[in-house]
Amino acid sequence: MKNEDLRIKIDYNNMLTSAVGENGIEEEKLLAMKGELFSALERVNSKRDKLRWRELYITERKNIERINETAAWVRESAEYFVVLGIGGSALGPAAVHQALRHQHYNELPREKRNGPKFYVEDNVDPERMAALLDIIDLDKTVFNVITKSGSTGETMSQLLIVTRLLLDRYGEEGLKDHIIATTDSSKGNLIGIAEKYNLRTFIVPDGVGGRFSELCPVGLVAAAVCGADIGKLLDGAEFMDGLCSNEDVLKNPALVSAALEVLAMEKGANISVLMPYADSLKYMADWYAQLWAESLGKKKTVDGKLVRVGQTPVKALGVTDQHSQVQLYTDGPFDKTITFIRVEKYRTEYAIPHAYDDIPNVAFLSGHTLNELISAECRATEHAVTVSGHMNKTIIVPEVNEFTVGELLMLFEMQTAFAGELLGIDAFDQPGVEEGKNATYALLGKKGYEDKLAELQKAGKKNERFII
């Protein structure tokens, strides 16, 4: 298929007053932003240092061979492949795996899978860790520990647990057969550990923040292990970056989409729902939620002005959440935008057979396909939301494959970068997350965090009165 045939498009008609009435955006407002959009594009283009993720489709090509070699080794030697990471170091690998592989991948017999069973462990719930260790066979497991900073407490705790188990069973020499490290080239502690134990190591390049890191080894190693064509992921990202570089700004999908969300925020739409009509893209909504929330949820502009901006992302799945959330999207407050993802061609066609032809209210479904049904439901929900006056747009994906997943990742990343620019905030830091990390270190007695511990103890005493 030609790249152009796999091009993702955005239909934003239903964001405008012409479609949804007074609670929409006047088209004139969007048109009047042309100059502002152009300078946002120029500013984003000039921030190369913070946007190294935008060049990953160039810089990572040289790593494809090594990543594929490592993936082949994992496929040969392991029955279980476990990602240990959190946030940007976990959501991308999970999203891409879900998008590209069988929906019940781990339950397939080995000969039908493209690789070992796949797990992303992004929590430190002791029950979950114990459950994982219950089901894997350590002898046949490769862990990919991923932490850009090389010091995140959750990931390092997981690493400590598996390292102890591995050391007890195989000694120091054995670690390299069971752990792959993905981290910064110099910062943090993981790189030192990787060097000491001679682990296979992949580097998260400078200027690639956690939530923007899917197209570097953070995501590419896991994708390759499960048999995805990682070159095509990069091709899709490259293609989308071309579209998102369009200086004819009203034809630039990420820029227009960012502008519409920012205009919607000005109208009080502080919630952003992402609702793919495909189970394969369910975790893509999780990945997007982190990207959008952590990048745009900011107190101050880059000039220090108090703004408190950001949209709360909500993950929804079509059609499942039609029976859970859509009532709120139609009749509830005008505080949200809804982005549907419509898939034009699913990888499977499934016919709805005849069985109850004597019951007309059931029989009308027979002779159609599940494909027709899910597509009709997507269009029907777009319609219901539109006639109830709620802003919505639809991302149209020709089919879900490596190329279009690469496009989607780049589209959302560029939209986030542009939205940050239009809001005047730094989309690439996460001071709130760092605050939480520091407080955890203090509570667990890390050296250098004594003042933070005192602050927490003081706050704890004050709050005790409200515990019942």
CA nearest neighbour of 201 among 214, 212, 192: 192
Interface with ligand PA5 (CB under 6 A): 86-89, 147-149, 152, 155, 209-211, 294, 430, 433
Alpha helices in 114-216 (DSSP H): 126-135, 153-170, 190-196
By Cβ distance, which residue is nearest to ligand PA5? 210
CB 258, CB 41: distance < 8 Å: no
The nearer residue to ligand PA5, 147 or 392, going by C-beta atoms, is 147
Q: Which residue has the tokens 């390092």?
A: 156
C-beta separation of 211 from 44 below 8 A: no
Q: How far is the CB of 221 from ligand PA5 (least distance, A)?
A: 14
Residue count of the chain, please give it.
Answer: 468
For 259, the 3-state DSSP assignment is helix
Which CB sits closer to ligand PA5, 289 or 365?
289
Coil, strand or helix: which one is 268?
Answer: coil
Render 234-272 in DSSP notation, one character per residue: HHHHHHHHHHTT-SSGGG-HHHHHHHHHHHHHHTT--EE
What are the φ/ψ torsions at residue 124 (nearest 5 degrees)?
-115, 30
Q: How far is the CB of 436 from ligand PA5 (least distance, A)?
A: 9
Neighbouring residues of 41: CB distance < 8 A, sequence distance ≥ 6: 245, 247, 249, 252, 255, 418
Cα torsion 119, 122, 123, 124 to 10°: value is 80
- CB closer to ligand PA5 out of 289 and 433: 433
Shortest Cβ 260–ligand PA5 spacing (Å)? 24
CB of 371 to ligand PA5, least distance (A): 36
Task: Report which DSSP code applies to 16.
Answer: B
Least CB distance from residue 431 to ligand PA5, whole Å? 11
Q: How far apart are CA 143 and CA 145, in angstroms?
A: 6
Of 184 and 235, the one with the shorter C-beta distance to ligand PA5 is 184
* Rounded least distance, CB 100 to ligand PA5, Å: 21
Query: What does the alpha-carbon distance between residue 398 and residue 419 come to, in Å, rounded to a whole number?
Result: 25
Distance CA 385, CA 391 (A): 8
* 155 contacts 86 by C-beta, under 8 angstroms: yes
What are the tokens at 367? 């002779």
Compare residues 87 and 310 and give the one whose CB is closer to ligand PA5. 87
- Of 88 and 115, nearer to ligand PA5 (C-beta) is 88
Asked, as a colleague might, if the bond just before 319 is cis with ω within 30 of 0, I would say yes
Based on CB atoms, which residue is closest to ligand PA5, 15 or 419?
419
How far apart are CB 430 and ligand PA5 at their closest, in Å?
Answer: 5
Phi, psi of 181 (to 5 degrees): -110, 135
Closest CA to 199 of 153, 162, 154, 234: 162
The number of helix segments (H) and strand segments (E) in the chain equals 19, 12
User: Which residues are designated catalytic?
Assistant: 294, 323, 437
Q: Least distance in Å: CB of 358 to ligand PA5?
A: 56
Closer residue to ligand PA5, CB minimum distance, 14 or 149: 149
